[in-house]
């Protein structure tokens, strides 16, 4: 494990939400300012950080460049993008695409329909496995032994009164999803937000991706939300067909 690299990456993290001065960065790293200055010179030279004329540092365009190149290289995301958009337009709600990777599910695309509202999700953000539609939809169709291992490893943070909090309850929910063919998050992650989500199978029949429609309980009743399931499943099937 490289201490110096860890420090540089911590700088990137620290600058993600807000620009900072050298002093703030040095304090954050618990290093001398001269050390922080040299680290910043390196990350700045490679475009990962920019500083303005008042010596305030913020993340630079290189990071955006890498991130969007990565997104552009994701086959499933590329194939799914026009369908997400169409789904968002048809439903006017927020549509997500998530991927299971290294034991967590990450949002890799999002389309906000005309009536969508602000919610937790953002591209690059982890979707908690036990209480988000997209994560549940993916996990339900993973191999048995993997489902069991993951269920034991989850920290069952209760986000709302309705959040699933035990491995047994979670595995039961995954069984219901397998039977039904799609997942429902019924205010388990955020109060007033519910969603339906479907798995997307790869050409090899493996499920690593999921597609969801999220909305507020004020916008759509549970009944209305469930009425979107056929469209959702059809969209997932269309994406699967395009994947080959």
Interacting residue ranges for a copy of itself, rule: CB under 8 A? 1-2, 4-10, 12-13, 16-18, 38-39, 41-43, 45-46, 48, 50, 58-73, 101-102, 104, 106, 108, 122-126
Pick between residue 40 and residue 164 the one whose CB is nearest to DNA.
40
Asked whether 94 and 68 are in contact (CB, 8 A), the reply is no
Does 50 bind DNA (CB under 7 A)? Our answer is no
Q: How far apart are CA 95 and CA 103, in angstroms?
A: 22
Judged by beta carbon distances under 5 to 8 A according to partner kind, the member of DNA, a copy of itself, none in contact with residue 22 is DNA
- In the complex, the smallest distance separating the C-beta of residue 63 from DNA, rounded to whole angstroms, is 20
Own/partner pairs, 115-118, CB within 8 angstroms, 24+ separation: 115/215, 115/219, 116/88, 116/92, 116/214, 116/215, 117/215, 117/216, 117/219
Q: How far is CA 139 from CA 28, 72, 176, 234, 243, in A?
A: 37, 25, 12, 20, 20
Which partner, a copy of itself, DNA, none, binds residue 223 by CB below 5 to 8 Å per kind?
Answer: none
CB closer to a copy of itself, 28 vs 162? 28
- The residue (of 42 and 157) whose beta carbon lies closer to a copy of itself is 42
Kindly identify the residues of this chain, within the stretch 16-35, that bind DNA according to CB under 7 A: 21-23, 31-35
Cβ distance to DNA smaller for residue 33 or 162:
33
Round to whole Å and give the CA distance between 186 and 206.
26
User: For residues 18 and 144, which CB has a smaller minimum distance to a copy of itself in the complex?
Assistant: 18
What lies within 8 Å, CB to CB, of 127 at 6+ separation is 96, 98, 104, 105, 106, 107, 121, 134, 135
Residues that bind DNA (CB under 7 A): 1-5, 7, 21-23, 31-35, 37-41, 55
């Amino acid at each position: 494990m490289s201490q110096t690299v860890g420090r540089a990456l911590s700088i990137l993290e620290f600058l993600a939400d807000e620009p900072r001065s050298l002093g703030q960065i040095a304090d954050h790293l618990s290093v001398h300012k001269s050390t922080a200055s040299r680290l910043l010179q390196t990350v700045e030279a490679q475009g990962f950080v920019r500083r303005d004329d008042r010596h305030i540092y913020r993340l630079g365009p290189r990071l955006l460049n890498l991130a969007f190149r990565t997104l552009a290289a994701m086959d499933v995301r590329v194939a799914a993008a026009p369908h997400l958009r169409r789904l968002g337009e048809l439903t006017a709600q927020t549509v997500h695409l998530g991927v299971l990777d290294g034991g967590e599910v990450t949002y890799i695309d999002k389309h906000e329909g005309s009536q969508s509202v602000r919610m937790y999700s953002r591209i690059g953000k982890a979707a908690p496995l036990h209480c988000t539609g997209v994560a549940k939809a993916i996990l339900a169709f993973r191999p048995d032994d993997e489902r069991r291992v993951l269920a034991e490893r989850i920290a069952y943070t209760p986000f709302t009164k309705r959040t699933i909090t035990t491995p047994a309850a979670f595995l039961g929910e995954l069984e219901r999803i397998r039977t039904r063919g799609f997942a429902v998050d019924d205010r388990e992650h955020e109060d007033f937000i519910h969603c339906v989500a479907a798995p997307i199978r790869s050409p090899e029949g493996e499920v690593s991706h999921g597609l969801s429609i999220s909305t507020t309980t004020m916008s759509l009743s549970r009944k209305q939300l469930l009425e979107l399931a056929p469209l959702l499943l059809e969209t997932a099937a269309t994406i699967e067909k395009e994947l080959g």
